[in-house]
Structure 1
Amino acid sequence: MSAGRARAQPDVSQSRSAGPRTSTCPRPTGVLHVPYVDTHCHLDHHEGLTPAEQVERARAAGVQTMITVGTDMASSTQALRTAARFEGVWAAVGVHPNDAMEATPHVLEVIDRLARDDNVVAVGETGLDYYRDYTTPAQQEAAFRSHIQIARSHDRALVIHCRDAWEDCLDILVDEGAPERVVMHCFSGDLDITKRCAEAGWYLSFAGNLTFANAHDLREAAAAAPLELLLTETDSPFLTPHPHRGKPNDPSYVPYTLRTLAEVQGLPVDEVEAAVEANTRRAFALPKD
Protein backbone atom coordinates (compact mmCIF):
# COMPACT_ATOMS: atom_id res chain seq x y z
CA MET A 1 0.00 0.00 0.00
CA SER A 2 1.49 3.29 -1.02
CA ALA A 3 1.57 6.23 1.32
CA GLY A 4 -0.95 9.02 0.87
CA ARG A 5 0.02 11.66 -1.65
CA ALA A 6 0.00 15.39 -0.98
CA ARG A 7 -2.29 17.37 -3.28
CA ALA A 8 -0.55 19.21 -6.10
CA GLN A 9 -1.86 21.58 -8.75
CA PRO A 10 -2.35 19.86 -12.14
CA ASP A 11 -1.39 21.18 -15.55
CA VAL A 12 -5.11 21.80 -16.22
CA SER A 13 -5.64 23.65 -12.94
CA GLN A 14 -8.17 26.33 -12.18
CA SER A 15 -8.06 28.49 -9.08
CA ARG A 16 -9.92 27.03 -6.16
CA SER A 17 -13.24 28.59 -5.32
CA ALA A 18 -13.75 30.58 -2.18
CA GLY A 19 -15.24 28.92 0.86
CA PRO A 20 -18.74 27.50 0.59
CA ARG A 21 -21.77 29.76 0.97
CA THR A 22 -24.35 29.07 3.64
CA SER A 23 -26.76 26.41 2.40
CA THR A 24 -29.42 24.01 3.54
CA CYS A 25 -30.24 20.67 1.97
CA PRO A 26 -32.16 17.54 2.89
CA ARG A 27 -30.25 15.18 5.15
CA PRO A 28 -30.97 12.46 7.65
CA THR A 29 -31.29 13.68 11.21
CA GLY A 30 -28.34 13.35 13.54
CA VAL A 31 -24.73 14.49 13.25
CA LEU A 32 -21.87 12.04 12.99
CA HIS A 33 -18.50 12.52 14.59
CA VAL A 34 -16.82 11.36 11.36
CA PRO A 35 -17.52 13.06 8.01
CA TYR A 36 -19.42 11.22 5.30
CA VAL A 37 -17.65 10.30 2.07
CA ASP A 38 -18.88 9.89 -1.51
CA THR A 39 -16.40 7.70 -3.35
CA HIS A 40 -18.11 7.94 -6.74
CA CYS A 41 -19.97 10.91 -8.18
CA HIS A 42 -20.09 12.77 -11.48
CA LEU A 43 -20.04 16.42 -10.45
CA ASP A 44 -19.82 17.60 -14.05
CA HIS A 45 -22.84 15.57 -15.25
CA HIS A 46 -25.52 17.26 -13.13
CA GLU A 47 -27.86 19.37 -15.26
CA GLY A 48 -29.40 21.35 -12.40
CA LEU A 49 -26.47 22.14 -10.11
CA THR A 50 -22.94 23.35 -10.80
CA PRO A 51 -20.02 21.47 -9.23
CA ALA A 52 -19.62 24.35 -6.77
CA GLU A 53 -23.27 24.11 -5.73
CA GLN A 54 -23.01 20.35 -5.29
CA VAL A 55 -19.90 20.68 -3.15
CA GLU A 56 -21.64 23.35 -1.07
CA ARG A 57 -24.67 21.11 -0.51
CA ALA A 58 -22.42 18.17 0.30
CA ARG A 59 -20.46 20.05 2.93
CA ALA A 60 -23.68 21.32 4.52
CA ALA A 61 -24.75 17.67 4.81
CA GLY A 62 -21.45 16.64 6.40
CA VAL A 63 -19.88 15.13 3.27
CA GLN A 64 -16.23 16.19 3.25
CA THR A 65 -14.62 13.81 0.75
CA MET A 66 -15.79 13.25 -2.83
CA ILE A 67 -14.29 11.50 -5.83
CA THR A 68 -15.60 12.83 -9.14
CA VAL A 69 -15.33 10.33 -11.96
CA GLY A 70 -14.71 10.67 -15.68
CA THR A 71 -16.28 8.36 -18.26
CA ASP A 72 -14.37 9.41 -21.39
CA MET A 73 -11.43 11.61 -22.33
CA ALA A 74 -13.32 14.91 -22.11
CA SER A 75 -15.11 14.19 -18.83
CA SER A 76 -11.93 12.78 -17.29
CA THR A 77 -10.09 15.99 -18.14
CA GLN A 78 -12.94 17.98 -16.64
CA ALA A 79 -13.01 15.78 -13.53
CA LEU A 80 -9.38 16.67 -12.92
CA ARG A 81 -10.13 20.36 -13.34
CA THR A 82 -13.02 20.10 -10.91
CA ALA A 83 -10.94 18.20 -8.35
CA ALA A 84 -8.30 20.92 -8.52
CA ARG A 85 -10.84 23.56 -7.52
CA PHE A 86 -12.08 22.13 -4.24
CA GLU A 87 -10.44 20.79 -1.11
CA GLY A 88 -11.61 17.27 -0.36
CA VAL A 89 -12.51 16.55 -3.99
CA TRP A 90 -10.40 14.11 -6.00
CA ALA A 91 -10.65 12.66 -9.49
CA ALA A 92 -10.84 9.30 -11.22
CA VAL A 93 -10.09 9.14 -14.94
CA GLY A 94 -11.06 6.53 -17.49
CA VAL A 95 -13.36 5.36 -20.27
CA HIS A 96 -16.69 3.75 -19.32
CA PRO A 97 -17.22 0.25 -20.79
CA ASN A 98 -20.28 1.52 -22.66
CA ASP A 99 -17.91 3.89 -24.47
CA ALA A 100 -15.13 1.36 -24.95
CA MET A 101 -15.07 1.96 -28.70
CA GLU A 102 -13.60 5.38 -27.88
CA ALA A 103 -10.65 3.87 -26.00
CA THR A 104 -8.25 4.44 -28.88
CA PRO A 105 -4.48 4.48 -28.37
CA HIS A 106 -4.60 8.29 -28.32
CA VAL A 107 -7.38 8.40 -25.72
CA LEU A 108 -5.64 5.82 -23.55
CA GLU A 109 -2.45 7.86 -23.78
CA VAL A 110 -4.36 10.89 -22.48
CA ILE A 111 -5.87 8.83 -19.65
CA ASP A 112 -2.39 7.59 -18.79
CA ARG A 113 -1.10 11.17 -18.68
CA LEU A 114 -3.99 12.37 -16.53
CA ALA A 115 -3.51 9.45 -14.13
CA ARG A 116 -0.06 10.75 -13.24
CA ASP A 117 -1.49 13.87 -11.63
CA ASP A 118 -1.56 13.96 -7.83
CA ASN A 119 -5.20 15.09 -7.86
CA VAL A 120 -6.11 11.79 -9.53
CA VAL A 121 -6.56 8.92 -7.08
CA ALA A 122 -8.05 6.26 -9.35
CA VAL A 123 -8.33 4.94 -12.89
CA GLY A 124 -11.87 4.28 -14.06
CA GLU A 125 -14.61 3.80 -14.23
CA THR A 126 -13.72 0.83 -16.38
CA GLY A 127 -14.84 -2.78 -16.58
CA LEU A 128 -17.56 -4.76 -18.34
CA ASP A 129 -21.24 -4.06 -18.99
CA TYR A 130 -23.16 -6.82 -20.77
CA TYR A 131 -26.53 -5.32 -19.87
CA ARG A 132 -26.24 -2.83 -22.73
CA ASP A 133 -24.88 -3.54 -26.20
CA TYR A 134 -23.37 -0.16 -27.05
CA THR A 135 -19.97 -1.86 -27.36
CA THR A 136 -18.85 -5.44 -27.95
CA PRO A 137 -17.42 -7.64 -25.18
CA ALA A 138 -14.13 -7.68 -27.09
CA GLN A 139 -13.95 -3.88 -27.14
CA GLN A 140 -14.75 -3.72 -23.45
CA GLU A 141 -12.17 -6.34 -22.56
CA ALA A 142 -9.41 -4.58 -24.48
CA ALA A 143 -10.19 -1.25 -22.80
CA PHE A 144 -10.48 -2.92 -19.39
CA ARG A 145 -7.08 -4.56 -19.70
CA SER A 146 -5.52 -1.24 -20.74
CA HIS A 147 -7.02 0.52 -17.72
CA ILE A 148 -5.69 -2.20 -15.41
CA GLN A 149 -2.21 -1.62 -16.81
CA ILE A 150 -2.49 2.15 -16.38
CA ALA A 151 -3.65 1.80 -12.77
CA ARG A 152 -0.80 -0.55 -11.96
CA SER A 153 1.84 1.61 -13.63
CA HIS A 154 0.85 4.69 -11.61
CA ASP A 155 -0.15 2.92 -8.37
CA ARG A 156 -3.72 4.15 -8.59
CA ALA A 157 -6.87 2.45 -7.38
CA LEU A 158 -8.90 0.75 -10.11
CA VAL A 159 -12.61 1.67 -10.13
CA ILE A 160 -14.67 -1.06 -11.78
CA HIS A 161 -18.11 -0.87 -13.35
CA CYS A 162 -19.49 -4.40 -13.71
CA ARG A 163 -23.01 -5.25 -14.81
CA ASP A 164 -24.14 -8.75 -15.78
CA ALA A 165 -20.51 -9.72 -16.42
CA TRP A 166 -19.09 -10.86 -13.10
CA GLU A 167 -17.37 -14.07 -14.17
CA ASP A 168 -15.56 -12.43 -17.09
CA CYS A 169 -14.69 -9.40 -14.97
CA LEU A 170 -13.08 -11.44 -12.20
CA ASP A 171 -11.30 -13.68 -14.71
CA ILE A 172 -9.74 -10.67 -16.45
CA LEU A 173 -8.62 -9.16 -13.15
CA VAL A 174 -6.88 -12.39 -12.21
CA ASP A 175 -5.41 -12.94 -15.66
CA GLU A 176 -4.15 -9.38 -16.09
CA GLY A 177 -3.02 -9.00 -12.50
CA ALA A 178 -5.22 -6.69 -10.45
CA PRO A 179 -3.73 -3.51 -8.99
CA GLU A 180 -3.11 -3.44 -5.27
CA ARG A 181 -6.33 -1.49 -4.67
CA VAL A 182 -9.57 -2.38 -6.49
CA VAL A 183 -12.97 -0.76 -5.93
CA MET A 184 -16.18 -2.40 -7.15
CA HIS A 185 -18.27 0.67 -7.89
CA CYS A 186 -22.04 0.49 -7.33
CA PHE A 187 -21.59 -3.10 -6.21
CA SER A 188 -24.35 -5.43 -7.41
CA GLY A 189 -22.88 -8.88 -6.89
CA ASP A 190 -24.56 -11.79 -5.14
CA LEU A 191 -23.31 -13.54 -2.01
CA ASP A 192 -20.81 -15.66 -3.94
CA ILE A 193 -19.34 -12.62 -5.73
CA THR A 194 -19.26 -10.75 -2.43
CA LYS A 195 -17.24 -13.56 -0.86
CA ARG A 196 -14.82 -13.80 -3.79
CA CYS A 197 -14.21 -10.06 -3.88
CA ALA A 198 -13.69 -9.98 -0.13
CA GLU A 199 -11.22 -12.85 -0.28
CA ALA A 200 -9.24 -10.85 -2.85
CA GLY A 201 -9.30 -7.79 -0.58
CA TRP A 202 -11.29 -5.68 -3.04
CA TYR A 203 -13.46 -2.85 -1.79
CA LEU A 204 -17.24 -2.94 -2.26
CA SER A 205 -18.89 0.43 -2.81
CA PHE A 206 -22.64 0.69 -2.25
CA ALA A 207 -24.85 3.34 -3.86
CA GLY A 208 -28.37 4.69 -3.45
CA ASN A 209 -30.02 1.58 -4.85
CA LEU A 210 -29.23 -0.08 -1.51
CA THR A 211 -32.08 2.00 -0.07
CA PHE A 212 -34.67 0.79 -2.59
CA ALA A 213 -37.54 -1.28 -1.19
CA ASN A 214 -36.92 -4.12 -3.66
CA ALA A 215 -33.15 -4.35 -3.02
CA HIS A 216 -33.40 -7.53 -0.94
CA ASP A 217 -30.53 -9.39 -2.64
CA LEU A 218 -28.27 -6.34 -2.58
CA ARG A 219 -28.93 -5.81 1.12
CA GLU A 220 -28.12 -9.45 1.77
CA ALA A 221 -24.77 -8.97 0.02
CA ALA A 222 -24.11 -5.74 1.94
CA ALA A 223 -24.85 -7.51 5.22
CA ALA A 224 -22.27 -10.18 4.38
CA ALA A 225 -19.54 -7.77 3.25
CA PRO A 226 -16.62 -7.24 5.67
CA LEU A 227 -16.75 -3.89 7.44
CA GLU A 228 -13.14 -3.17 6.51
CA LEU A 229 -13.98 -3.30 2.79
CA LEU A 230 -17.15 -1.16 2.75
CA LEU A 231 -17.41 2.12 0.85
CA THR A 232 -20.31 4.48 0.14
CA GLU A 233 -21.13 6.45 -3.00
CA THR A 234 -23.95 8.24 -4.79
CA ASP A 235 -23.08 7.67 -8.47
CA SER A 236 -24.81 11.03 -8.76
CA PRO A 237 -26.65 12.40 -10.60
CA PHE A 238 -27.96 8.83 -10.96
CA LEU A 239 -29.45 6.31 -8.48
CA THR A 240 -31.03 8.81 -6.11
CA PRO A 241 -31.73 7.09 -2.78
CA HIS A 242 -35.06 6.73 -1.05
CA PRO A 243 -36.86 8.98 -0.04
CA HIS A 244 -35.74 11.29 -2.86
CA ARG A 245 -36.14 8.96 -5.84
CA GLY A 246 -37.29 10.84 -8.92
CA LYS A 247 -34.99 13.79 -8.21
CA PRO A 248 -31.45 14.23 -9.57
CA ASN A 249 -28.94 12.78 -7.14
CA ASP A 250 -25.98 14.68 -5.65
CA PRO A 251 -23.33 13.93 -3.00
CA SER A 252 -25.42 15.45 -0.20
CA TYR A 253 -27.63 12.35 -0.34
CA VAL A 254 -24.90 9.83 0.53
CA PRO A 255 -25.93 9.79 4.24
CA TYR A 256 -29.07 7.86 3.29
CA THR A 257 -26.99 5.06 1.82
CA LEU A 258 -24.64 5.05 4.80
CA ARG A 259 -27.50 4.70 7.25
CA THR A 260 -29.02 1.85 5.29
CA LEU A 261 -25.62 0.17 5.17
CA ALA A 262 -25.30 0.47 8.94
CA GLU A 263 -28.79 -0.97 9.34
CA VAL A 264 -28.07 -4.09 7.29
CA GLN A 265 -24.70 -4.52 9.00
CA GLY A 266 -26.44 -4.31 12.38
CA LEU A 267 -23.94 -1.74 13.62
CA PRO A 268 -24.12 1.85 14.92
CA VAL A 269 -24.05 4.48 12.18
CA ASP A 270 -21.01 6.21 13.67
CA GLU A 271 -19.06 2.95 13.71
CA VAL A 272 -19.84 2.16 10.08
CA GLU A 273 -19.06 5.67 8.89
CA ALA A 274 -15.75 5.70 10.77
CA ALA A 275 -14.87 2.44 9.02
CA VAL A 276 -15.98 3.77 5.62
CA GLU A 277 -13.92 6.91 6.06
CA ALA A 278 -10.83 4.89 6.99
CA ASN A 279 -11.48 2.43 4.16
CA THR A 280 -11.74 5.31 1.68
CA ARG A 281 -8.35 6.64 2.70
CA ARG A 282 -6.78 3.20 2.26
CA ALA A 283 -8.57 2.38 -0.98
CA PHE A 284 -7.58 5.62 -2.68
CA ALA A 285 -4.34 6.33 -0.78
CA LEU A 286 -5.68 9.69 0.37
CA PRO A 287 -3.48 11.83 2.60
CA LYS A 288 -4.39 11.97 6.26
CA ASP A 289 -5.87 15.20 7.56
Structure 2
Amino acid sequence: MMETSSTSEQTLRLCDTHSHISFKQFDHDRERIISQLKNGELEFLIEIGIDLETSKKVVELASKHENIFAAIGIHPHESNDTPSNYTEEMGILAEYKTVVAIGEIGLDYYRNLSPKEIQKRVFREQLFLSRELKLPVVVHVRDAYDDAYEIIKEFKGELHGVIHAFSGTIADAKRFVDLGFKLGIGGPLTYPKNNELREIVRHFSLVHFLSETDCPYLPPQKYRGKRNEPAYVRFVIELISELKGISASSCSTILCKNAIDLFKLQI
Protein backbone atom coordinates (compact mmCIF):
# COMPACT_ATOMS: atom_id res chain seq x y z
CA MET A 1 0.00 0.00 0.00
CA MET A 2 1.42 3.39 -0.97
CA GLU A 3 2.12 5.68 1.97
CA THR A 4 0.10 8.89 1.82
CA SER A 5 1.58 12.25 2.74
CA SER A 6 -0.56 12.41 5.88
CA THR A 7 0.69 8.98 6.97
CA SER A 8 4.22 10.14 6.29
CA GLU A 9 3.70 13.13 8.56
CA GLN A 10 2.42 10.89 11.33
CA THR A 11 5.48 8.65 11.14
CA LEU A 12 8.03 11.45 11.46
CA ARG A 13 9.91 11.48 14.75
CA LEU A 14 10.27 15.18 15.58
CA CYS A 15 13.28 15.69 17.85
CA ASP A 16 14.42 19.24 18.59
CA THR A 17 17.90 19.18 20.09
CA HIS A 18 18.09 22.94 20.68
CA SER A 19 15.05 24.79 22.01
CA HIS A 20 14.45 27.78 24.25
CA ILE A 21 10.76 27.36 25.17
CA SER A 22 11.56 28.65 28.67
CA PHE A 23 12.15 32.10 27.11
CA LYS A 24 9.53 34.83 27.45
CA GLN A 25 8.47 34.43 23.80
CA PHE A 26 6.63 31.26 24.88
CA ASP A 27 4.99 32.64 28.04
CA HIS A 28 1.56 32.76 26.37
CA ASP A 29 1.54 29.25 24.86
CA ARG A 30 4.26 27.15 26.50
CA GLU A 31 1.67 24.62 27.64
CA ARG A 32 0.63 24.08 24.02
CA ILE A 33 4.21 23.10 23.17
CA ILE A 34 4.38 20.80 26.17
CA SER A 35 1.09 19.18 25.11
CA GLN A 36 2.73 18.29 21.79
CA LEU A 37 5.25 16.23 23.75
CA LYS A 38 2.50 14.56 25.74
CA ASN A 39 0.48 13.58 22.68
CA GLY A 40 3.48 12.34 20.73
CA GLU A 41 3.57 15.06 18.09
CA LEU A 42 7.04 15.90 19.39
CA GLU A 43 9.29 13.10 20.64
CA PHE A 44 11.67 15.09 22.84
CA LEU A 45 13.36 18.46 23.33
CA ILE A 46 16.77 19.48 24.60
CA GLU A 47 16.01 22.75 26.41
CA ILE A 48 19.04 25.04 26.48
CA GLY A 49 20.26 27.50 29.10
CA ILE A 50 22.38 30.53 28.25
CA ASP A 51 23.32 31.79 31.74
CA LEU A 52 22.83 30.69 35.34
CA GLU A 53 19.30 32.08 35.56
CA THR A 54 18.04 30.39 32.42
CA SER A 55 19.97 27.23 33.25
CA LYS A 56 17.99 26.98 36.48
CA LYS A 57 14.78 27.52 34.52
CA VAL A 58 15.52 24.77 32.01
CA VAL A 59 16.34 22.33 34.79
CA GLU A 60 13.06 23.20 36.51
CA LEU A 61 11.11 22.80 33.26
CA ALA A 62 12.75 19.47 32.44
CA SER A 63 12.19 18.18 35.95
CA LYS A 64 8.44 18.80 35.62
CA HIS A 65 7.82 17.28 32.20
CA GLU A 66 8.70 14.00 30.53
CA ASN A 67 10.75 14.10 27.34
CA ILE A 68 12.23 17.52 28.07
CA PHE A 69 15.93 17.37 28.87
CA ALA A 70 18.18 20.21 30.00
CA ALA A 71 21.51 21.65 28.94
CA ILE A 72 23.13 24.17 31.29
CA GLY A 73 25.75 26.70 30.33
CA ILE A 74 27.04 30.23 29.86
CA HIS A 75 26.58 31.60 26.34
CA PRO A 76 29.55 33.62 25.03
CA HIS A 77 27.42 36.78 25.09
CA GLU A 78 26.99 36.33 28.85
CA SER A 79 30.56 35.33 29.70
CA ASN A 80 31.62 38.80 30.82
CA ASP A 81 28.91 38.92 33.51
CA THR A 82 29.55 35.52 35.05
CA PRO A 83 30.16 35.23 38.81
CA SER A 84 33.47 33.74 39.89
CA ASN A 85 31.80 30.62 41.31
CA TYR A 86 29.66 29.87 38.25
CA THR A 87 31.22 26.45 37.59
CA GLU A 88 30.38 25.40 41.15
CA GLU A 89 26.77 26.44 40.64
CA MET A 90 26.66 24.59 37.34
CA GLY A 91 28.08 21.51 39.03
CA ILE A 92 25.21 21.59 41.54
CA LEU A 93 22.64 21.93 38.74
CA ALA A 94 24.26 19.06 36.86
CA GLU A 95 23.31 16.71 39.68
CA TYR A 96 19.72 16.74 38.38
CA LYS A 97 19.15 13.62 36.28
CA THR A 98 17.42 15.66 33.55
CA VAL A 99 20.68 17.51 32.77
CA VAL A 100 22.22 15.83 29.73
CA ALA A 101 24.73 18.41 28.44
CA ILE A 102 26.79 21.51 29.11
CA GLY A 103 25.62 24.29 26.81
CA GLU A 104 25.06 26.65 25.24
CA ILE A 105 28.72 27.56 25.40
CA GLY A 106 31.27 28.75 22.85
CA LEU A 107 32.54 31.80 21.00
CA ASP A 108 30.76 34.61 19.16
CA TYR A 109 32.97 37.18 17.45
CA TYR A 110 30.12 38.50 15.29
CA ARG A 111 28.45 40.52 18.03
CA ASN A 112 31.37 40.49 20.47
CA LEU A 113 29.17 41.27 23.47
CA SER A 114 31.94 39.95 25.71
CA PRO A 115 35.69 40.46 25.15
CA LYS A 116 37.27 37.66 23.13
CA GLU A 117 39.76 36.64 25.81
CA ILE A 118 36.99 36.33 28.39
CA GLN A 119 34.88 34.33 25.95
CA LYS A 120 37.75 31.92 25.40
CA ARG A 121 38.47 31.55 29.12
CA VAL A 122 34.86 30.85 30.03
CA PHE A 123 34.49 28.48 27.08
CA ARG A 124 37.57 26.53 28.11
CA GLU A 125 36.48 26.42 31.77
CA GLN A 126 33.15 24.92 30.78
CA LEU A 127 34.86 22.35 28.58
CA PHE A 128 36.90 21.31 31.61
CA LEU A 129 33.66 21.04 33.58
CA SER A 130 32.08 18.96 30.84
CA ARG A 131 35.02 16.60 30.85
CA GLU A 132 34.86 16.31 34.64
CA LEU A 133 31.12 15.61 34.59
CA LYS A 134 31.35 13.32 31.53
CA LEU A 135 28.65 15.30 29.72
CA PRO A 136 28.58 16.29 26.03
CA VAL A 137 28.71 19.95 25.05
CA VAL A 138 26.41 22.16 22.97
CA VAL A 139 28.67 24.69 21.26
CA HIS A 140 27.71 28.06 19.78
CA VAL A 141 30.17 29.36 17.18
CA ARG A 142 29.81 32.49 15.07
CA ASP A 143 32.67 34.06 13.14
CA ALA A 144 35.04 32.14 15.43
CA TYR A 145 35.47 28.70 13.89
CA ASP A 146 39.27 28.67 13.98
CA ASP A 147 39.53 29.61 17.66
CA ALA A 148 36.69 27.27 18.65
CA TYR A 149 38.36 24.39 16.84
CA GLU A 150 41.75 25.03 18.43
CA ILE A 151 40.24 25.12 21.93
CA ILE A 152 38.10 22.01 21.44
CA LYS A 153 41.10 20.20 19.93
CA GLU A 154 42.85 20.55 23.29
CA PHE A 155 40.27 18.02 24.57
CA LYS A 156 40.50 15.67 21.59
CA GLY A 157 39.17 12.23 22.45
CA GLU A 158 37.90 13.44 25.84
CA LEU A 159 34.81 15.41 24.76
CA HIS A 160 31.90 14.97 22.40
CA GLY A 161 29.07 17.25 21.48
CA VAL A 162 27.41 19.28 18.78
CA ILE A 163 28.31 22.46 16.95
CA HIS A 164 24.93 24.15 17.19
CA ALA A 165 23.47 26.05 14.21
CA PHE A 166 26.46 25.09 12.10
CA SER A 167 27.34 27.89 9.69
CA GLY A 168 30.94 27.16 8.77
CA THR A 169 32.54 25.91 5.58
CA ILE A 170 32.79 22.32 4.43
CA ALA A 171 36.41 22.38 5.65
CA ASP A 172 35.23 23.54 9.09
CA ALA A 173 32.64 20.77 9.10
CA LYS A 174 35.29 18.15 8.38
CA ARG A 175 37.52 19.38 11.21
CA PHE A 176 34.75 19.11 13.79
CA VAL A 177 33.44 15.80 12.45
CA ASP A 178 36.99 14.45 12.70
CA LEU A 179 36.95 15.45 16.39
CA GLY A 180 33.81 13.34 16.84
CA PHE A 181 31.37 16.26 16.97
CA LYS A 182 27.89 16.40 15.46
CA LEU A 183 26.66 19.33 13.40
CA GLY A 184 23.36 20.95 14.44
CA ILE A 185 21.16 21.70 11.44
CA GLY A 186 18.15 24.00 11.74
CA GLY A 187 16.02 26.50 9.86
CA PRO A 188 18.87 28.21 7.95
CA LEU A 189 19.17 25.03 5.85
CA THR A 190 15.92 26.08 4.16
CA TYR A 191 17.06 29.63 3.28
CA PRO A 192 17.35 30.08 -0.50
CA LYS A 193 20.89 31.45 -0.46
CA ASN A 194 22.31 28.86 1.95
CA ASN A 195 23.75 26.58 -0.73
CA GLU A 196 26.91 25.81 1.23
CA LEU A 197 25.02 24.33 4.17
CA ARG A 198 22.93 22.20 1.83
CA GLU A 199 26.13 20.98 0.18
CA ILE A 200 27.53 20.06 3.62
CA VAL A 201 24.40 18.00 4.36
CA ARG A 202 24.79 16.24 1.01
CA HIS A 203 28.49 15.59 1.59
CA PHE A 204 28.59 14.08 5.10
CA SER A 205 26.91 10.94 6.39
CA LEU A 206 23.62 11.45 8.20
CA VAL A 207 25.17 10.06 11.38
CA HIS A 208 27.01 13.37 11.81
CA PHE A 209 23.90 15.58 12.07
CA LEU A 210 21.33 16.57 14.67
CA SER A 211 17.99 18.26 13.92
CA GLU A 212 17.26 21.46 15.84
CA THR A 213 15.31 24.72 15.74
CA ASP A 214 16.97 27.23 18.12
CA CYS A 215 13.40 28.43 18.71
CA PRO A 216 12.26 31.15 19.09
CA TYR A 217 15.05 32.11 16.67
CA LEU A 218 16.06 30.99 13.16
CA PRO A 219 12.67 29.88 11.80
CA PRO A 220 12.55 27.89 8.56
CA GLN A 221 11.94 29.80 5.33
CA LYS A 222 8.16 29.25 5.49
CA TYR A 223 8.04 31.22 8.77
CA ARG A 224 10.78 33.81 8.21
CA GLY A 225 10.08 36.87 10.32
CA LYS A 226 7.94 34.92 12.77
CA ARG A 227 8.65 33.06 15.99
CA ASN A 228 10.18 29.63 15.53
CA GLU A 229 8.90 26.66 17.55
CA PRO A 230 9.90 23.02 18.07
CA ALA A 231 7.36 21.46 15.67
CA TYR A 232 8.94 23.43 12.80
CA VAL A 233 11.88 21.03 12.98
CA ARG A 234 9.72 19.04 10.53
CA PHE A 235 10.76 21.36 7.70
CA VAL A 236 14.44 20.82 8.49
CA ILE A 237 14.05 17.04 8.59
CA GLU A 238 12.10 16.99 5.34
CA LEU A 239 14.77 18.98 3.51
CA ILE A 240 17.60 16.87 4.95
CA SER A 241 15.79 13.74 3.76
CA GLU A 242 15.41 15.25 0.29
CA LEU A 243 19.10 16.15 0.14
CA LYS A 244 20.09 12.65 1.31
CA GLY A 245 17.65 10.87 -1.00
CA ILE A 246 15.86 8.92 1.73
CA SER A 247 12.36 9.00 3.18
CA ALA A 248 11.57 11.67 5.74
CA SER A 249 10.46 8.94 8.12
CA SER A 250 13.79 7.11 7.94
CA CYS A 251 15.68 10.40 8.17
CA SER A 252 13.81 11.46 11.30
CA THR A 253 14.48 8.10 12.96
CA ILE A 254 18.22 8.35 12.30
CA LEU A 255 18.42 11.96 13.49
CA CYS A 256 16.59 11.11 16.72
CA LYS A 257 18.88 8.14 17.30
CA ASN A 258 21.91 10.39 16.80
CA ALA A 259 20.62 12.64 19.60
CA ILE A 260 19.63 9.78 21.89
CA ASP A 261 23.11 8.28 21.55
CA LEU A 262 25.00 11.56 21.98
CA PHE A 263 23.05 12.77 25.02
CA LYS A 264 22.50 9.25 26.45
CA LEU A 265 18.79 9.94 26.76
CA GLN A 266 16.62 7.57 28.76
CA ILE A 267 13.43 7.50 26.69
Query: With structure 1 as the length reference, what TM-score do the two structures score?
Result: 0.85
Q: Alignment partner for residue 47 of structure 1, among 25, 31, 43?
A: 25
Alignment of 1:213-224 (within 5 A): 213-224=192-203
For 1:161, give the aligned amino acid: H
Q: Distance in 2 between matches of 1:61 and 1:211?
A: 25
Q: Which runs of 5+ in 1 are unaligned?
A: 1-27
Q: Alignment partner for residue 269 of structure 1, among 248, 254, 257?
A: 248
Q: Alignment partner for residue 130 of structure 1, among 109, 114, 132?
A: 109
Q: Distance in 2 between matches of 1:58 and 1:286?
A: 15
Aligned to 2:257: 278
For 1:209, give the aligned amino acid: P
Offset of residue 83 of structure 1: 0.6
Q: Distance in 1 between matches of 2:133 and 2:246?
A: 36
Q: Does 1:141 align with 2:120?
A: yes
Flag the 1:208–1:60 CA change in 2: closer, same or farther, 3 A. Answer: farther
Alignment of 1:54-93 (within 5 A): 54-57=33-36, 62-93=41-72
Flag the 1:36–1:273 CA change in 2: closer, same or farther, 3 A. Answer: same
Flag the 1:142–1:178 CA change in 2: closer, same or farther, 3 A. Answer: farther
Aligned to 2:138: 159
Q: Select between 168-177 and 145-154 the one with higher mean Cα deviation.
A: 168-177
Secondary structure class of the residue paired with 1:91: strand
Offset of residue 195 of structure 1: 1.3
Q: Distance in 2 between matches of 1:78 and 1:120?
A: 12
For 1:111, give the aligned amino acid: M
Aligned to 1:173: 152
Secondary structure class of the residue paired with 2:222: coil
Preserved CA contact (<8 Å) 1:121 1:157:
yes
Q: Which runs of 5+ in 2 are unaligned?
A: none
Q: Does 1:250 align with 2:229?
A: yes
Preserved CA contact (<8 Å) 1:148 1:179:
no
More helix by share: 2
Aligned to 2:187: 208
For 2:58, give the aligned amino acid: A
Preserved CA contact (<8 Å) 2:187 2:221:
yes
Q: Distance in 1 between matches of 2:127 and 2:83?
A: 15
Aligned to 2:219: 240
C-alpha offsets along residues 224-256 of structure 1, whole Å, 9 cap, x if unaligned? 222112110010000111211221111111101
Q: What is the RMSD of the two structures over their aligned residues, measured on CA atoms?
A: 1.8
Q: Select between 272-281 and 172-181 the one with higher mean Cα deviation.
A: 172-181
Q: Alignment partner for residue 9 of structure 2, among 23, 27, 31?
A: 31
- Give the number of aligned pairs: 261
Q: Does 1:260 align with 2:239?
A: yes
Quote the sequence identity (%). 29
Secondary structure class of the residue paired with 2:103: strand
Secondary structure class of the residue paired with 1:92: strand
Preserved CA contact (<8 Å) 1:44 1:50:
no
Preserved CA contact (<8 Å) 2:101 2:137:
yes
Aligned to 2:172: 193
C-alpha offsets along residues 9-61 of structure 1, whole Å, 9 cap, x if unaligned? xxxxxxxxxxxxxxxxxxx9532535210000001114244432222245668
Preserved CA contact (<8 Å) 1:55 1:251:
no
